């Protein structure tokens, strides 16, 4: 039996197994800390910082997804600094990318009073849809760089390393070796990247075509049609 530690979260005492993250500890007492990049199947990189909380004695806000609960810790999950950080991050996201298919984030924006139009004349990350393989489409206008797709493509799951990053900073975008199309890469169309994408940036091709107004029978005809042309 692992040691347990006692701490308070928003004034409520809680005891958890040592090694538990603040996020999990908070869940035990019904305190919900928002997350964007966190996913149970991928390594936590603490990069979206939406889960930051204020820990007494710490100069900086701490990411609850990876910081471990410690004895006598005093955690505030809704302090003014926390709220400012969450709201501003959400406002910057809204000014940067298309969140229309990220309902969880849109809900979060309402909850934190984030104004989608906060940043006027803001450069957005826009991109044409990449439709280059039979299985999924890539719409990086919707990508919020949670890294999950890159992680499952690499050591977190599939080990094919078909995708990585282009550029850096605000200009970062997920990309392939010299921007090759997916069939020209080491991609095996396992679909795990599509499964972990939180914003619809990666989407099954069939779903995409249905959204474009195609009927299921048209889509299947399209597929068989391709095979027929080959003969």
Partner 1 sequence: MSDIDTSPSLSARLAPLQSAIEPYLPLGRSGLLPALHAAQKIYGWISEPVAAEIAKSLRVPLADVHGVIEFYTLFYNEPVGKRFIRVCTDQACALKDADGLLNHLCAHHGIKASETTADRRVTIEASPCLGLCEQAPAILYGDEAETNVNLKTGSYELGRPRSIVYGQIRLLTANCGNGTTTSLTNYGEYVALKKALLMKPEEVINEVKSSGLVGRGGAAFPTGVKWDGTAKAAGSPKYVVCNADESEPGTFKDRVLLLDDPHRVIEGMAIAAYAIGASKGFIYVRGEYPYILPVLENALSEARQAGYLNEDFDIEIRLGAGAYICGEETALFESIEGKRGFPRVKPPFPTTFGVFGKPTVINNVETLCNVPLIISKGSAEYREIGTEKSPGPKLFCVSGDVIKPGVYEVPFGVTLRELLNMAGGPSTSLRTNQKKLQAVLFGGAAGAFATPTHLDVKLTFEDLRAAGLPLGSGVVMVFDERRDMRDSLARLGHFFAHESCGKCYPCQMGTQRQMEILNRIAAGKMQAGDLERLQDVGWTMTDASLCGLGQTAASAVLSAVKLWPELFKDEGGRMKDEVLMGNKKKNEMRKTQNVKSKAKKAKANTQDAKRKVQKVKAKTVAKKKSSRKTASRR
52 interacts with partner 1 by CB under 8 A: yes
Stretch that binds partner 1, among 10-18, 105-113, 140-148, 213-221 (CB under 8 A): 140-148
Exactly one of 47, 157, 190, 219 binds partner 1 (CB under 8 A); which one?
Answer: 47
Residue 99, class by beta-carbon neighbours within 10 Å (0-12 exposed, 13-18 middle, 19+ buried)?
A: buried
Residue 25, class by beta-carbon neighbours within 10 Å (0-12 exposed, 13-18 middle, 19+ buried)?
A: buried
Exactly one of 8, 24, 27, 92 binds partner 1 (CB under 8 A); which one?
Answer: 92
Exactly one of 11, 30, 178, 224 binds partner 1 (CB under 8 A); which one?
Answer: 178
117: which residues sit within 8 A by CB, 6+ positions away? 94, 95
17 interacts with partner 1 by CB under 8 A: no
Tell me the closest approach of the beta carbon of residue 49 to partner 1, in angstroms.
4
Site for partner 1 in 179-208 (CB under 8 A): 179, 184-186
**With b meaning 16 or more CB within 10 Å and e meaning fewer, what string describes 59-78?**
eebbbbbebebeeebebbbe
Rounded Cα distance, 202 and 173, in Å: 13
93 interacts with partner 1 by CB under 8 A: yes
Exactly one of 28, 88, 191, 208 binds partner 1 (CB under 8 A); which one?
Answer: 88
Stretch that binds partner 1, among 105-113, 169-177, 200-208, 212-220 (CB under 8 A): 169-177
Site for partner 1 in 144-163 (CB under 8 A): 144-145, 154, 161-163
Looking only at the bridges linking them, the beta strands covering 52-55 and 12-17 are unpaired
- Report the chain's terminal Cα–Cα distance, integer Å: 64
120 interacts with partner 1 by CB under 8 A: yes
221 interacts with partner 1 by CB under 8 A: no
Exactly one of 1, 128, 212, 213 binds partner 1 (CB under 8 A); which one?
Answer: 128
Rounded Cα distance, 193 and 61, in Å: 30
**With b meaning 16 or more CB within 10 Å and e meaning fewer, what string describes 27-51?**
beeebebbbbbbbeebebebebebb
Please report, as ranges, the residues that interact with partner 1 according to CB under 8 A. 36, 45-50, 52, 60-61, 63, 66, 81, 84-85, 87-89, 92-93, 95-96, 118-123, 125-128, 140, 144-145, 154, 161-173, 175-179, 184-186
């Amino acid at each position: 039996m692992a040691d347990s530690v006692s701490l308070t979260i928003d004034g409520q005492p809680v005891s958890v197994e040592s090694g538990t993250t603040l996020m999990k500890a908070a869940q035990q007492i019904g305190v919900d800390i928002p997350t964007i990049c966190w996913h149970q199947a991928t390594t936590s990189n603490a990069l979206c910082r939406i889960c930051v909380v204020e820990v007494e004695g710490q100069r900086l806000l701490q990411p609850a997804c990876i910081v471990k609960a410690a004895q006598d810790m005093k955690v505030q999950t809704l302090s003014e600094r926390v709220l400012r950080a969450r709201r501003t991050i959400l406002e910057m996201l809204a000014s940067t990318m298309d969140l229309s298919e990220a309902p969880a984030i849109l809900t979060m924006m309402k909850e934190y009073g984030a104004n989608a139009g906060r940043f006027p004349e803001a450069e957005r990350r826009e991109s044409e849809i990449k439709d280059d393989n039979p299985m999924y489409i890539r719409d990086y206008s919707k990508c919020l760089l949670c890294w999950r797709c890159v992680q499952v493509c690499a050591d977190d799951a599939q080990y094919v390393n078909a995708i990585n990053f282009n550029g850096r900073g605000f200009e970062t975008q997920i990309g392939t070796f010299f921007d090759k199309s997916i069939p020209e890469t080491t991609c095996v169309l396992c679909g795990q990247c599509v499964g972990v994408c939180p914003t619809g940036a990666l989407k099954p091709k069939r779903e995409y075509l249905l959204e474009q107004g195609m009927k299921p029978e048209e889509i299947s005809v399209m597929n068989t049609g391709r095979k027929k042309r080959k003969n």
